Amino acid sequence: MTKAKSAAKAAAKPAAKRAPAKKAASDGVEIRPLAASDEKALLSFARSLPPHDLLFLPRDISEPKVLKAWIRESEGGGMMSLVAAEGDTIVGCGAIAHDPLSWSPHVGELRVLLGPAARGKGVGRRLTQRLFALALEAGLQRIVAQMTVDQTAAISVFEGLGFRAEAMLRGHVKDRAGKRHDIVILGHEVADVLARLEAFGVVEATSR
């Protein structure tokens, strides 16, 4: 196991504390990198979602143009993207957005999204952990995530990984009906956690 993967595992809730039924329910779901051939399935997935669940994203991925640009960026290595698939059906997706040419080359934004039918089975947590590990492997020192304040499941997953609420942006996004919603920004100083895990020998122990 790589250092990053074991750190993500160690930073997350211990597997023993999770219900076995939840693990079994998520077993048929494969988490893998996003491919160009996923475009059609990903569009149907995005269009099946409640519009409110898309509000944390900077752009509407149920628009084919936006989706194409995301796939292009992922293929070019500009974005690390994963999908959760059950056979040919996409049930979730996620990405780490990061701009090495900006003044925040050490920061990545983690985004994760699951279809309502696939929720509550542990898939969201698995997907988030995999993305977290990718961010660590890429050497990012800080990870942020943003969501509407009512996304309690998302906040719980992120807090379980060590994220803490850092800011609130009032009325920051507008839904299709023109209603404004607050956004919470969670942050994680990865470097601090890695150092602490190493100091206690946790990274070494979980790599074995």
Ligand X SMILES: CC(C)(COP(=O)(O)OP(=O)(O)OC[C@H]1O[C@@H](n2cnc3c(N)ncnc32)[C@H](O)[C@@H]1OP(=O)(O)O)[C@@H](O)C(=O)NCCC(=O)NCCS
Out of 67, 97, 133, 147, the only residue in the binding site for ligand X (CB under 6 A) is: 147
Q: Which residue has the tokens 């628009």?
A: 63
Q: How far apart are the two ends of the chain, measured CA to CA in Å?
A: 7
Return the residue nearest ligand X (CB atom): 124
Alpha carbon 171 to chain centroid, angstroms: 23
- The CB-of-16 to ligand X minimum distance in angstroms stands at 12
Q: Which residue has the tokens 């803490």?
A: 164
SS3 at position 39? helix
- The CB-of-31 to ligand X minimum distance in angstroms stands at 11
Q: Can residue 29 be called a binding residue for ligand X (CB under 6 A)?
A: no
Out of 8, 31, 91, 123, the only residue in the binding site for ligand X (CB under 6 A) is: 123
Taking the C-alpha atoms of residue 129 and residue 159, their distance in angstroms, rounded to an integer, is 12
Select the span of 69-77, 97-105, 148-156, 188-196 touching ligand X (CB under 6 A). 148-156
DSSP 62: T
Site residues for ligand X per CB under 6 A: 18, 53, 56, 111-114, 119-125, 145, 147, 151-154, 156-157
